[in-house]
Chain A
Amino acid sequence: MVLKNLRRIAGVVMLAAFILIFVRFDSFGGLANAAFITQFSLSAAGPFLWSALLIIASILLLTALAGRVYCSILCPLGLIQDAIIRVKRLFTKASFGQLPDLSLLHYLLAGSVIGLASAGILLPLSLIEPFALAGRLLADLVQPLATMIFKFIAGIMGGGVGWFGQASLKAFDSFNTTLVAASLILLSFLCLIWGRIYCNSICPVGALLRLIAKHSRLRVSIDANKCVSCGSCAKVCKAGCIDTREKLVDHSRCIACFNCLDTCKFSAIGYQLTQGSAMKQCGIFSPGRRAFAGGVAATAAAWLLPRQLLPATEPLMAILPPGAGNQALFTARCISCHLCVAACPSAIIRPASRQPGLLSIQQPSLSFEHGMCEQNCNLCSQICPVMAIRPIISEQKRFLKIGEVFYDKSICVVETNGTDCGACAEHCPTQAVKMVPYRNNLMIPQTDPSICIGCGSCEHICPVRPRRAIVVNPIKEQTFITMPEQEKLPEKAENEFPF
Chain B
Amino acid sequence: MDRRKFIALLSTLAAAHNLRFPLSLKAAEATAAAPATSSAFPDLIGVTGGTPAMMFDRAIAAAGGIDRFVKPGQKVLVKPNIGWDKKPEEGANTSPELVKRIIELCIKAGAGEVRVFDNTCNHWQACYGNSGIEQAVKEAGGKMLMADDASLYTKVEVPAGKVLKTTNVHQAWLDSDVIINVPILKHHGGARMTAAMKNLMGVVSDRRFYHSNDLHQCIADFTTFSKKPTLNIIDAYTVMMRNGPRGVSTADLVTRKMLLMSTDIVAIDTAAARIMELGHQDIAYIGKAFELGSGSNSLDKLRIERLTM
Residue of A nearest to B242 (CB): A489
Given A420-B191, A463-B209: A499 in contact with B274 (beta carbons within 8 A): yes
Q: How far is the CA of A372 from the CA of B188 in the complex (A)?
A: 20
- Interface: A274 (CB within 8 A): no
The reply to whether B304 and A499 contact each other, CB–CB distance below 8 Å, is yes
Q: How far is the CA of A372 from the CA of B246 in the complex (A)?
A: 14
Q: Say which size band chain B's interface belongs to.
A: 35 or more
**A-B contact list, 8 entries, CB within 8 Å:** A159-B117, A159-B146, A159-B172, A420-B216, A431-B243, A443-B190, A461-B208, A461-B211
Residue ranges of A at the interface with B (Cβ–Cβ < 8 Å)? 151, 154-155, 159-161, 165-166, 345-346, 371-372, 374-377, 413, 417, 419-423, 425-431, 434-435, 443, 461, 463-464, 483, 486-489, 491-499
Q: How far is the CA of A219 from the CA of B146 in the complex (A)?
A: 56
Question: What does the 1/0 interface line of B250-284 toward A look like (CB < 8 Å)?
Answer: 01111111100000000000110011010000001
Tell me which of B104-112, B120-128, B221-229 binds A: B120-128
- Interface: B245 (CB within 8 A): yes
Using a CB-CB cutoff of 8 Å, which residues 210-256 of chain B contact chain A? 211-217, 241-246, 248-249, 251-256
* Smallest CB-CB A-B distances: 4 pairs: A422-B190, A463-B208, A463-B212, A425-B189
Residue of B nearest to A487 (CB): B251
Residue of A nearest to B125 (CB): A166
Tell me which of B3-11, B30-38, B63-71, B94-102 binds A: B3-11
Central interface residue in A376, A421, A483, A495, by most chain B CB within 10 Å: A495
The reply to whether A498 and B274 contact each other, CB–CB distance below 8 Å, is yes
The reply to whether B304 and A426 contact each other, CB–CB distance below 8 Å, is no
The reply to whether B252 and A486 contact each other, CB–CB distance below 8 Å, is yes
- Interface: B46 (CB within 8 A): yes
The reply to whether A499 and B48 contact each other, CB–CB distance below 8 Å, is no
Q: How far is the CA of A496 from the CA of B130 in the complex (A)?
A: 31
Q: How far is the CA of A255 from the CA of B190 in the complex (A)?
A: 63
The reply to whether A483 and B130 contact each other, CB–CB distance below 8 Å, is no
- Interface: B39 (CB within 8 A): no
Distance to closest chain A CB from B115 (angstroms): 8
The reply to whether B149 and A430 contact each other, CB–CB distance below 8 Å, is no
- Interface: B51 (CB within 8 A): no
The reply to whether A495 and B11 contact each other, CB–CB distance below 8 Å, is yes
Q: Which residues of A contact B249 (CB under 8 A)?
A: 486
The reply to whether A426 and B188 contact each other, CB–CB distance below 8 Å, is yes
List 16 other contacts, CB 8 Å, given A413-B211, A496-B10, A499-B46: A151-B149, A160-B144, A374-B126, A376-B85, A377-B123, A422-B189, A423-B207, A423-B208, A423-B211, A434-B243, A443-B189, A488-B251, A492-B254, A493-B3, A497-B11, A499-B271
Given A161-B145, A345-B125: A420 in contact with B215 (beta carbons within 8 A): yes
Q: How far is the CA of A154 from the CA of B125 in the complex (A)?
A: 15
**Interface residue from B49, B215, B248 paired with A422 (Cβ < 8 Å):** B215
